[in-house]
Amino acid sequence: MPRIFDNIEADLLTALRETLDGSKRADFCVGYFNLRGWSSLADLVEAYPGTETGCCRVLIGMHHAPEEVMRETQKAMRKEQELDKGTKLRLKKRIAQSFKEQIEFGLPTAAAEKTLRELAKQLRAHKVCIKLFLKHPLHAKLYLLHRTDHVAPIVAYRARAAPDQIQDDGTLLHQCVC
C-alpha cells in the first residue's frame, strides 16, 4: 500500500532521510536544485564511498537558461540536429551560470556557504554526481534509494501522474508524492 506524503500530516523529508540512512546508493530526479534542500540530505550522502555503485546521482530538469537559447537547443534536439562546438560551449556556459544562480537562490548565510562547501567536497569525491536534463523541461520528483535490504532493495518516492497528466514538455500537471 503506497503512503501519501502531503507534507502536512506525513512528511516526505522524514521518510526520505530514514530510507536514505543506510542506503548504498541514491538516484534523484528533480525539477530544481537548491542548497536549502540539499542541506537536509547532505549528511547522509556523506557516508557513500564515492564509487559508481556508491553515490548519489542527481538529474535536474528545470534549469533556468535564457529562453531563446533553450528554444534553439530544444528545436535542434527534437530534430536530432547536431549543434556546432561553439554553440555547445556557449550553451554550457549559460546553463552553468543559470544553475549557479539556482543554487545560490536566497539570502547568503553561513549555513548556505557551509552546505555549498560540503556539496563541492562531495562532488570532488564523487559522492554526488549532478547532471542537467536538456532535451525539454522536466519537472520531476523521483527519489530511488538502493539498499542492501532483501525485502525492499529499492525504495522509491515519486510524483505520481497518469499519461494524460503530462504535457508535451514533460511537466506534470498533477503531482502526488507517494
Is the model's pLDDT at 166 over the cut of 60? Answer: no
More confident residue, 11 or 165: 11
Alpha carbon separation from 97 to 15, 74, 94, 171 (Å, rounded):
33, 19, 5, 23
Residue 60 has a CB neighbour count (10 Å cut-off) of: 20
pLDDT of amino acid 151: 80
Q: Mind listing the pLDDT tens digit for each residue in 5-37?
A: 767 777 888 888 999 998 999 999 988 887 788
**Cα-flanking dihedrals φ and ψ of residue 30, to 5°?**
-130, 160
Is the model's pLDDT at 61 over the cut of 70? Answer: yes
pLDDT of amino acid 100: 73
For the question of whether the overall pTM of this predicted structure is more than 0.95, the answer is no
Grid cell listed for 84 = 556546432
pLDDT of amino acid 47: 92
Is the model's pLDDT at 163 over the cut of 80? Answer: no
Please, is 127 exposed, middle or buried when counting C-beta atoms within 10 Å of its C-beta (0-12, 13-18, 19+)? buried
What is the rounded CA–CA span in Å between residue 158 and residue 178? 6
Residue 29 has a CB neighbour count (10 Å cut-off) of: 19
For the chain, the structural domain boundaries read 12-165
pLDDT of amino acid 160: 53
Is the model's pLDDT at 83 over the cut of 70? Answer: no
CATH architecture of the domain 12-165 equals 2-Layer Sandwich (3.30)
pLDDT of amino acid 127: 97
Q: Mind listing the pLDDT tens digit for each residue in 132-158?
A: 877 777 777 888 999 988 888 888 887
Is 27 in contact with 144 (CB distance < 8 Å)? yes
